[in-house]
Amino acid sequence: MQRYETQRRKAYIIRLTIAQLMVTFVGMLAAYLVADAEGMSSVFKGALVALLPQAFFIQRMGVFHARRRTRGAMHLFRAEAGKFGLTVALFVAVFVAAPPSNPTFFFYAYVAVVLTHWLTPWLMPKNANA
């Protein structure tokens, strides 16, 4: 049963990542049509600020490695705190080191990638045994 749950978790995360990358590429295409390469780079930076902390959280929780998977509320809290800290650090780094040329595209991309998580359950099979 545990192996099935691990496979189901992996499938969910893979589908989520694919959906988020598709949202990123569609956003980059739309930004390119509206504001050329500067808008496209802003969308890319916004998506990166959303995706990197998520990858950190997945790695920290050990979702892809059943034997390394951590359990308990304290591990979840630490992983989530690290994700939040990394998000703040990335926002600071982006706005200090390489400010986006169009902050509107940056924030739209960040929010769209983060909110894609809500739509991903529709991508999962309806049958629990599938």
The tens digit of pLDDT for each residue in 46-80 reads 999 999 999 998 888 877 665 555 566 778 888 89
Q: What is the mean pLDDT of residues 23-50?
A: 93
Q: In whole angstroms, give the CA distance from residue 47 to residue 78.
A: 23
What are the angstrom distances between the C-alpha of 49 and each of 84, 86, 87?
11, 9, 6
Q: Record the pTM.
A: 0.82
What percentage of the chain reaches a pLDDT higher than 90? 48
pLDDT at 22 over 70: yes
User: Of 6 and 101, which is predicted with more confidence?
Assistant: 101
Q: In the prediction, which pLDDT does 67 show?
A: 59
Q: What is the mean pLDDT of residues 104-114?
A: 94
**Cβ-count burial 105-128 (b if 16+ within 10 Å, e if not):** bbebbbebbbebeeebeeeeeeee
Q: In the prediction, which pLDDT does 89 show?
A: 96
Q: Name the phi and psi angles at 102, rounded to 5.
A: -135, 95
Q: How many CB atoms lie within 10 A of CB 130?
A: 8
Domain boundaries, the chain: 2-122
Q: What is the mean pLDDT of residues 81-102?
A: 93
User: Of 88 and 12, which is predicted with more confidence?
Assistant: 88
Average pLDDT over the chain reads 85
Q: How many CB atoms lie within 10 A of CB 58?
A: 17
Contact 62, 32 (CB under 8 A): no
Band (pLDDT 50/70/90 cuts) for residue 127 is: low
Only one residue has tokens 């691990």, namely 6
Q: How many CB atoms lie within 10 A of CB 2?
A: 8
